[in-house]
Chains A and B, each alone.
Chain A
Amino acid sequence: GQQLNQSPQSMFIQEGEDVSMNCTSSSIFNTWLWYKQDPGEGPVLLIALYKAGELTSNGRLTAQFGITRKDSFLNISASIPSDVGIYFCAGLYTGTASKLTFGTGTRLQVTL
């Protein structure tokens, strides 16, 4: 099945550092969503983006909907140990109803 290109695949950073990850697609989307998943649990929604060029923040998280509608970026500022997990982007094109297409995931590990 299709997966979006998400990079980096994994990151090992120190507490307090900023983190950036991105997601690209060959298709356009109307909605971009960013999720975090802890082991053995379902993805938890972090940020939703509905408009090209939109920049949205949720605490230390900031995400942007690319103007081409084919990419999105997630930044985490001043990382803390509980940021550890796998981050997924997901694209949604309303013409395909509720079918989310997910990225390959970015595994984030934070050290003290």
Chain B
Amino acid sequence: KAGVTQTPRYLIKTRGQQVTLSCSPISGHRSVSWYQQTPGQGLQFLFEYFSETQRNKGNFPGRFSGRQFSNSRSEMNVSTLELGDSALYLCASSSGTVKETQYFGPGTRLLVL
């Protein structure tokens, strides 16, 4: 089985712009979660989508949003970028069942200038 894929791998944006990141989960997985990783805050949960519905949400401002398509692929959007949004954005896929294990993609490295 192919693993979790994320595109693009690297991105440079300027303050005020918006960005869209993409994640394709493992085939058959219906749950996609997004995390932000920074040196100061570590790995922080952004949100989770299951069957095209947001099932859980972390403590991030409304500038961070996401969606999931019928094929379980997910996108994450950040509007009005700030310098502090520079981070590694990771998505993880899981089957969404009781014995849940999350598998991570390689991440998208976002740099905001």
Chain A residues proximal to chain B, CB less than 8 Å: 1, 3, 31, 33, 35, 40-45, 48, 50, 88, 90, 92, 94, 96-102, 104-105
A-B contact list, 21 entries, CB within 8 Å: A1-B45, A1-B59, A33-B101, A40-B88, A40-B106, A44-B104, A50-B99, A96-B56, A97-B48, A97-B55, A97-B56, A98-B48, A98-B56, A99-B33, A99-B45, A99-B56, A100-B43, A100-B102, A102-B35, A102-B43, A104-B42
With a cutoff of 8 Å between Cβ atoms, the chain B residues found around residue A31 in the complex are 99-101
The minimal Cβ–Cβ distance linking A2 to chain B, given in whole angstroms, is: 9
Q: Would you call A1 and B58 a contact (CB within 8 A)?
A: yes
Query: Bound complex: CA of A90 vs CA of B98, how far in Å?
Result: 16
Q: Provided the pairs A35-B104, A44-B104, A45-B103 are in contact, do residues A98 and B109 lie with their beta carbons within 8 angstroms?
A: no
Q: Would you call B59 and A98 a contact (CB within 8 A)?
A: no
In the assembled complex, B7 has its CB within 8 A of some CB on chain A: no
Chain B residues proximal to chain A, CB less than 8 Å: 4, 6, 31, 33, 35, 41-45, 48, 50, 55-56, 58-59, 88, 90, 92, 94, 96, 98-107, 109
Main secondary structure of the interface of B (DSSP, over half): strand
With a cutoff of 8 Å between Cβ atoms, the chain A residues found around residue B102 in the complex are 33, 45, 90, 92, 98, 100
With a cutoff of 8 Å between Cβ atoms, the chain B residues found around residue A105 in the complex are 42
Q: Would you call A97 and B99 a contact (CB within 8 A)?
A: no
Q: Would you call A101 and B42 a contact (CB within 8 A)?
A: no
Question: B100: which of A3, A41, A92 is its contact (CB, 8 Å)?
Answer: A92
Query: Bound complex: CA of A42 vs CA of B109, how far in Å?
Result: 11
Most A C-beta atoms less than 10 A away, residue of B56, B94, B102: B102
